[in-house]
Amino acid sequence: MESVIKYLWLMPTAPLVAAGIGALLPRRQRLLSAALAIGAISFSFVLACAAFLATLNSGRAVSNFRWFDFGSTSVQLGWLLDPLGAVMAVMVALVSLLIFVYSLGYMAKDENFTRFFCFLALFAAAMLGLIIANSLLLFFICWELVGLASYLLIGFWFQKPSAAAAAKKAFIVTRIGDLGFLVGMLWLYDRSGTLLFYDGGHGCLERAVAGGMSSATMITLMIFCGAVGKSGQLPLHVWLPDAMEGPTPVSALIHAATMVAAGVFLIARVYPLMTPDTLQVVTWVGAVTAVFAASIAVAQSDIKRILAYSTVSQLGYMMMGLGAGGVAVGMFHLTTHAFFKALLFLGAGSVIHGCHEEQDIRKMGGLRRRMPVTFAAYAVGMMALCGVPLFFSGFWSKDAILDAAQHWSVSQAPFYLGLIGAFLTAFYMTRQICYVFFGKPANREAEHAHESPPVMTVPLIILAALAVVAGFFGTPAWPWFQSYLQGGRAEFDLSKLVEGNQSQVMLLSAGLVAAAIVLSGWIYGRVASRPARDMDPLEAAQPALFACLRRKFFVDEFYDATFVRLTAAFANFSDWLDRDVWGGLVRTVSWLVLAVARFNRGVDESVVNDGFDAGTETVRDSGKWVSRLQNGQVQRYLRVIGLAFCGLLILLLWGAQ
């Protein structure tokens, strides 16, 4: 433990160095840039495994250091090694490594290959830093860096206006959440005097927050705002679907497996601070988001958009799990979701690559035979996501959440919302599979689709294996994951599977999933076989509802009409203020100064110059005039002397009297 914590800071630093070097490389150094990134992330993965092993016996190690002083206090940052961070680090490093390798194949034809790997490495560094941060401030710094990397990567093809707009939207929307996060962070600092999580008893998570329950509730609600933004919960979910403008590896890594999970991770990290009121809010937000996003996904026709809304929905599940069931429940679903969602996205990328950059599912079809490996992996992922029982990890993790929701003391509504969401999830995933892989190809590209190269399919296979295997670590029969995170021993006990109403919940969810798959398969299976698929059967049945779902409940339009318009109006007002009022003031001042200058010049020329000239003229003329007194006539001089003498005499004589 001690030796690992000493070198833990190398985990984010290696990718950071790779990113730094990559930023300086010229465009043709493609291989070097990729090698740096992949090498760095492999090194981080090894270090993460070492950290994981070190934490197997539970416990926690910290390594704090001082950043800078101000006044009498100092700002401290630090690294934390504990089960929560270790398992997250392993997951992030592994998924990142697989996606980096996948990108070698996917982005091979792109001319900005070097820049892509530089940004990927930057993202990985920031994400890993976020995971092992022991200070909320360091966490926030890495949080912002992750947001920056997301912006850079969403807008990777910045020449496309839609991509640039999507990047901007992502950044701005998450910023709104980050504002709440920042307020909460400052408030926490004020209340507890430190931002370190664990500090030998003095950390902010180790003591009760001064100010009692109400301030703790407010602080954690503020921090939850940040999670809402980053994890795409209602109402700040609008950026996630648009973020699909970025390359598919980016969508897989950032917007499925890791970055959006950072919000969930944040809540898990500061869980000791959460009050029951905040947890209620978290649960409700998560439940509503889960159903909201799932219903929108039913009506989408872009392969990546469906998966994006699915991600939003699953994040809602994670929040629900955190709120109702605790850290272990939420984190278990986060881990399994990372694997199968990354798998689904990479599979989608493979499909897009095979169909020559076609993303509309209505134009695909029959890829089952043309891309078998992709199909197999995708099917595994789909079943994991839907929660098909027993063999697929999604079943176990989602079940844990539903179980916790059922036992929630406050209300049963999230439980029912969760069930509805599970039904919808299975429904839209089956719909997607039918459109993409079954039936007949809709156009020529789909007909001539080819399987992707091994550099892309091997990560798919690995992820598929993980999607199956990871589930077995958290079943009720052997709750290793939960005991790892919470302490205590896990025992292998198959009887726990059929105990209590846990088995009832499992049967209920399995039944719902089966019903959804059958229903969707029946509706869309026939549609997929028709060559001309112009209308979705649901659209034909309920056009208004379908249009509403397709248009994402008009949330974007609503935001546009209100917030965006308000902000634009305010911006226009500020521009007017700056240009006309302040600018006018400045112009007036400069005009005044100029006028004063002109006046000075006038004064100088007319008054000073002319005055001076007049003065000198006067002196000269008076000199001329006075010199006339001296006319050379001696008699005049004598006359003057005589007069002066008289004057003097008079003065002396009669002045003295």
Give the binding site for another protein (CB under 8 A). Answer: 626-636, 638-639, 642-643, 645-646, 649-650, 653
For residues 359 and 306, the answer to whether their CB atoms sit within 8 Å is no
Q: Which is nearer to another protein, 24 or 626 (CB)?
A: 626
Cβ proximity of 184 and 216 under 8 Å: no
Minimal distance, residue 633 CB to another protein, in Å:
6
3-class secondary structure, 614: helix
User: Helices marked H in 210-326 — which ranges?
Assistant: 212-230, 239-242, 248-252, 259-269, 276-297, 303-325
User: CA angle 293-298-303, nearest 5°?
Assistant: 95
Minimum CB–partner distance for residue 615 and another protein (Å): 21
Please, which residue, 161 or 632, has the CB nearer to another protein? 632
Q: Which is nearer to another protein, 511 or 642 (CB)?
A: 642
What is the three-state SS of 122-184?
HHHHHHHHHHHECEHHHHHHHHHHHHHHHHHHHCCCCCCHHHHHHHHHHHHHHHHHHHHHHHH
Residue 532 or residue 626: which is nearer to another protein going by CB?
Answer: 626
Taking the C-alpha atoms of residue 589 and residue 601, their distance in angstroms, rounded to an integer, is: 18
Q: How far is the CB of 651 from another protein (least distance, A)?
A: 11
Q: How many CB atoms lie within 10 A of CB 190?
A: 12
Whichever of 532 and 653 has its CB closer to another protein, that residue is 653
Smallest separation (angstroms) from another protein to the CB of 604: 35
CB of 631 to another protein, least distance (A): 5
Q: How many other β-carbons are positioned within 10 Å of the β-carbon of residue 565? A: 11
Angle of the 393-406 helix axis to the 413-437 helix axis, nearest 10: 160
CB of residue 630 to another protein, shortest distance in Å: 4
Q: Using the minimum distance from each CB to another protein, give the nearer residue, 159 or 631.
A: 631
Minimum distance, C-beta of residue 591 to another protein, in the bound complex (Å): 55
The C-alpha atoms of residue 298 and residue 269 are separated, in whole angstroms, by 33
Residue placing its CB nearer to another protein in the complex, 26 or 632:
632
Distance CA 240, CA 251 (A): 9
| 96 Cβ contact list (under 8 Å, min separation 6) | 41, 44, 45, 120, 124, 127, 253, 258
Q: CA 588, 594, 600, 601 torsion: positive or negative?
A: negative
Identify whether the C-beta of residue 350 lies closer than 8 Å to the C-beta of residue 371: yes
For residues 109 and 624, which CB has a smaller minimum distance to another protein in the complex? Answer: 624
Q: How far is the CB of 620 from another protein (least distance, A)?
A: 13
Which of residues 200 and 655 has its CB atom nearest to another protein in the complex? 655
- The nearer residue to another protein, 160 or 639, going by C-beta atoms, is 639
**Minimum CB–partner distance for residue 622 and another protein (Å):** 13
Say how far apart CA 345 and CA 307 lie, in whole Å.
7
Residues 72, 76, 140: CA angle, nearest 5 degrees: 125
Tell me how far, at minimum, the Cβ of 588 lies from another protein, in Å. 59
Residue 194, φ and ψ in degrees, nearest 5: -150, 155
